[in-house]
Every structure is written in structure tokens, then in C-alpha cells.
């Protein structure tokens, strides 16, 4: 594989941001997906972990025993107030630190950045309402303390970051970004900059979301009642409203007609190369560059199907240092929505030309569209493929849509590919486009 030309912006001083650990708390087939090996078993075979009781939804099914096994020291006084988002995020953190050969106990991560991406679909409204409706005259001191702990952990925007920082006893940077489905992708970029600038040596980046099935179903019922108004708004470029649970999502497939959702969390451990080398850590690869753009549309529900801003994000991400000729694989973000596939296809054609040999796959059909974790997932899965020299198939894609300017690797088998560079895409309603450039441990 041809190496990119140019001088590394961080030189060889060890400030490059490398990935040394990944961990998950995601839907699985026989049980949740926790480890890199669990993940590879699913994505390398194009498996889907979505169906539950005739509903196409990715449910983690995390038991108390599973949680306690990984986090036995969490005081029950706090843990009994954890929401599913807290539990998923803490478990994926525990798995990622173990994978990286780090410990979250005893202050070992006391100076690490704790960065969380949350889409906020589950608003933890029960904790808010309990505090709002509590009668001070009838609430005992013990009950008041329980309400306070629940509210403090669940009502703040940084709910998951707050409990992760308490667990790790970190006094480093700690905050949550809520930018929908690009939330953890944005945090990956923030972590890379902190490491490159010498602010931290280690960053723990987590994406976590919980989609309430009944909420989404009710939204769909309400929207179906307003279909006539919606159809009139379609002239403004609003995306197609697709059912989320009625059938199986099929990214890049000609039969694609719906989006399935899922819940869960993914965590990525990022370090400076110097720090990772000093402790002899295994390196999955590097986060070389990131870029974020927006379509600039006045309607926050609109979608620009030209792909122009995705092209801009890619070109900003590559800059003058890297070249598309060196990037033979892209981890796409198609969730089964034909509008997403359309602007991805147009962007790829603009970037690579109509007759490219690009491989571009999406694994959203494995776990469902899970929102904020998507950025961390894209980084983790892409680096696994890069390390193994295999591109995983697009889950549930069996009959590729016509006119795709890339190969979506249909079926259930991996495709061999020797590559050192890859791109990972993420999008958010409102026109946000995010691109992340990843490289092998040796890439320059």
C-alpha cells in the first residue's frame, strides 16, 4: 500500500493519538457484546442482533449479575439510581480499560480525560418528575437524600460522564457532548486534539444512548396522522420518515425501506503514542484527523441529498497531507434510510469517481441505529478490520441497490484488503457531517 506523503503534523514526538482499547455493551445474539472478540464474531459474519419478540430492535439485556461482575465495587447507594445509560456506559468503560491493560481503580486514570457522547433520546424524565413533584413537608430525610442522588446522577446533561469520572476518580477534563448521532465522533476529535496538544496522555471516550421503543412508536403514530402536512413539507427537502420496527433494516440494499434502532454503549481508549509505548500497550491504530461540517440549511429536519458537505468534510479531514488514493475503505453510516444512501453515493462519486474500486460498508444492521455510540463504534470496528486485513460485510445487504459507486460487500463473508488508511463517517439530523481518518499503527 502506498504511503501518504508529507511531514506528520505531530512529528515523531509521541503526541500522535493511538487507540489501545475498545469495549462495548451492545445487543448480541446469545448475550450482550462486550469485547473485541465478541464484536468481531458479529460483524465479520454480517450477523444481526435485532429481533426481539417480533419487534426489530436491538436490546442489550444486561443483567445485574453481568454489571456486578465487571463493577463489583460500586456502592449500591449510588448504583441503584443508575439509569440504563449509566450502566451501559460504565460496563463499556470497564471492558475497554481491561482491553487496554489499564485499571480504572485506585486512581490509575486520575489525570485522564473522561469524554462522553450522549444523544439524549432517553431524558431520564422520571428522576426529574420525582424531584419536581416531591412534597418537602411529607418527604423524610432519607427519602430526600435518595431523590437528590437520583437527580444529581440522572438529571444533569453530563450524567454518564459524571458517574464515569467518579468511578475513575479522574480530575482531568470531564464533559459530555450532546450532538445526536455524531456525539461520540465529536468527542473522538476532542480527545485527539487534547492528546496532540499535550493536555492529557489518556482519554476515555464513550458513546451511549437508549432509544425508548414505545416513544418512537408513538411518534410514528402521531406523524402518520399528520402525513398530509408532512407531505407538503417534503418540498423543503425533509428526509423520508421510515418505520423503525416493522421489518429488517437493509443498508445499501435495493429493498431498504426502514430503520431499526438499538441501545447500548461503546468506549474507546486513546493515548499518546509515547504513553502507550512506555507501558507496552497493544495499539489497534491511530486517529489521524477529524472534520465536522453542516449542510447550512435553515430547516433542521431537511436533508441535502447532493453530498456536498460530506465531500467538504472529507477534504478537510485529509488536508494536504493525505490522499484519497491511499484510502481504499470507508466505514459508512447508512442506517437503511435511502436519503442517507443517496448523499453518501453522490459524495463518493464526487470524491472517487464513478468507476472506483472503493469498498464501503455499514454495520448498523448488526446492532441497529444506536445514535451517540456510532462514532466510537465506527472507529473500533474500522481499526479491527484494518488490523486483520479484512473488510466486514454490510449486514443484511444481499441485493445491492443499483448505481452505487462503491462495493458494499454484500453477503456474510469478509473481503480481504491490505490497507493502512480508512475513513469513518457519521451524520446527525440537522445536516451535520463528520469524517474521521484512521491509520494503522505504522501509518504516517
Question: What cell numbers appear for 267 in the block?
Answer: 468506549
Q: Is residue 321 over pLDDT 50?
A: yes
Decide which of 396 and 335 is more confident: 396
d(CA 167, CA 161): 10
CA distance 129 to 119: 20
Q: How many Cα atoms occupy the beta-carbon half-sphere of 258 within 13 Å?
A: 15
CA torsion, ordered 325, 329, 334, 335, to nearest 10 deg = -170
Q: What is the spatial distance between Cα 321 and Cα 317, in angstroms, rounded to a whole number? A: 9
β-pairing verdict for 421-428 and 17-25: unpaired
Neighbours of 85 (CB within 10 A): 26
pLDDT of residue 223: 60
Cell numbers representing residue 104 in the block: 480504572
- For 45, the grid coordinates are 459474519
pLDDT at 352 over 80: yes
Chain-centroid distance of CA 86 in Å reads: 16
- pLDDT exceeds 90 at position 78: no
pLDDT digits (tens, 9 = 90+) for 273-302: 999 999 999 999 999 999 999 988 877 767
* Residue pLDDT, tens place only, 139-162: 888 888 777 777 766 655 557 998
CATH architecture of 17-215+246-439: 3-Layer(aba) Sandwich (3.40)
Please give the mean pLDDT across all residues of the chain. 88
Q: What is the mean pLDDT of residues 201-222?
A: 83
* Distance (Å) of CA 322 to CA 8, 210, 314: 10, 36, 11
pLDDT at residue 301, as a whole number: 67
C-alpha closest to that of 342 among 308, 371, 377, 382: 308
Place of cell 418505520: 243
Residue 431: which of 306, 309, 317 has the closest Cα?
Answer: 309
Cα–Cα distance for residue pair 185/88, rounded to 1 Å: 18
Amino acid at each position: 500500500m502506498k504511503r501518504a506523503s508529507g511531514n506528520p503534523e505531530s512529528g515523531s514526538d509521541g503526541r500522535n493519538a493511538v487507540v489501545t482499547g475498545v469495549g462495548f455493551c451492545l445487543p448480541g445474539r446469545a448475550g450482550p457484546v462486550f469485547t473485541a472478540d465478541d464484536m468481531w464474531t458479529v460483524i465479520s459474519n454480517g450477523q444481526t442482533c435485532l429481533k426481539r419478540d417480533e419487534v426489530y430492535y436491538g436490546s442489550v439485556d444486561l443483567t445485574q449479575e453481568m454489571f456486578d461482575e465487571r463493577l463489583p465495587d460500586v456502592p449500591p447507594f449510588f448504583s441503584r439510581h443508575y439509569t440504563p445509560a449509566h450502566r451501559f456506559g460504565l460496563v463499556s468503560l470497564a471492558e475497554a480499560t481491561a482491553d487496554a491493560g489499564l485499571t480504572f481503580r485506585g486512581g490509575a486514570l486520575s489525570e485522564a480525560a473522561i469524554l462522553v457522547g450522549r444523544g439524549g433520546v432517553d431524558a431520564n424524565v422520571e428522576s426529574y418528575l420525582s424531584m419536581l413533584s416531591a412534597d418537602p413537608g411529607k418527604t423524610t430525610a432519607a427519602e430526600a437524600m435518595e431523590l437528590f442522588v437520583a437527580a444529581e446522577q440522572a438529571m444533569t446533561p453530563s450524567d454518564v460522564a459524571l458517574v464515569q469520572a467518579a468511578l475513575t476518580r479522574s480530575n482531568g477534563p470531564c464533559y459530555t457532548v450532546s450532538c445526536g448521532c455524531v456525539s461520540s465522533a465529536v468527542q473522538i476529535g476532542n480527545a485527539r486534539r487534547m492528546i496532540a496538544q499535550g493536555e492529557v496522555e489518556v482519554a476515555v471516550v464513550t458513546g451511549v444512548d437508549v432509544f425508548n421503543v414505545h416513544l418512537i412508536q408513538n411518534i410514528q403514530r402521531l406523524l402518520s396522522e399528520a402525513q398530509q402536512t408532512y407531505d407538503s413539507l417534503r418540498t423543503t427537502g425533509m428526509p423520508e420518515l421510515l418505520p423503525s420496527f416493522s421489518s429488517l433494516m437493509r443498508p445499501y440494499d435495493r429493498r431498504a425501506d426502514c430503520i431499526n434502532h438499538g441501545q447500548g454503549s461503546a468506549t474507546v481508549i486513546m493515548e499518546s503514542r509515547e504513553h502507550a509505548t512506555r507501558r507496552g500497550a497493544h495499539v489497534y491504530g491511530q486517529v489521524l484527523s477529524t472534520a465536522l461540517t453542516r449542510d447550512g440549511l435553515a430547516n433542521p429536519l431537511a436533508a441535502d441529498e447532493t453530498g456536498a458537505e460530506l465531500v467538504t468534510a472529507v477534504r478537510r479531514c485529509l488536508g494536504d497531507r493525505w490522499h484519497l488514493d491511499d484510502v481504499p475503505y470507508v466505514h459508512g453510516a447508512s442506517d437503511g434510510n435511502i436519503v442517507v444512501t443517496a448523499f453518501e453515493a453522490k459524495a463518493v462519486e464526487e470524491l472517487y469517481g464513478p468507476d472506483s474500486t472503493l469498498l464501503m460498508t455499514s454495520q448498523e444492521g448488526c446492532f441497529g441505529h444506536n445514535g451517540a455510540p456510532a462514532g466510537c463504534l465506527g472507529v473500533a470496528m474500522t481499526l479491527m478490520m484494518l488490523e486483520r486485513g479484512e473488510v466486514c460485510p454490510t449486514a443484511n445487504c444481499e441485493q445491492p441497490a443499483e448505481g452505487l459507486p462503491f462495493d458494499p460487500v454484500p453477503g456474510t463473508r469478509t473481503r480481504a484488503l491490505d490497507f493502512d488508511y480508512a475513513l469513518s463517517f457519521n451524520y446527525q439530523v440537522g445536516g451535520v457531517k463528520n469524517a474521521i481518518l484512521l491509520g494503522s499503527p505504522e501509518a504516517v
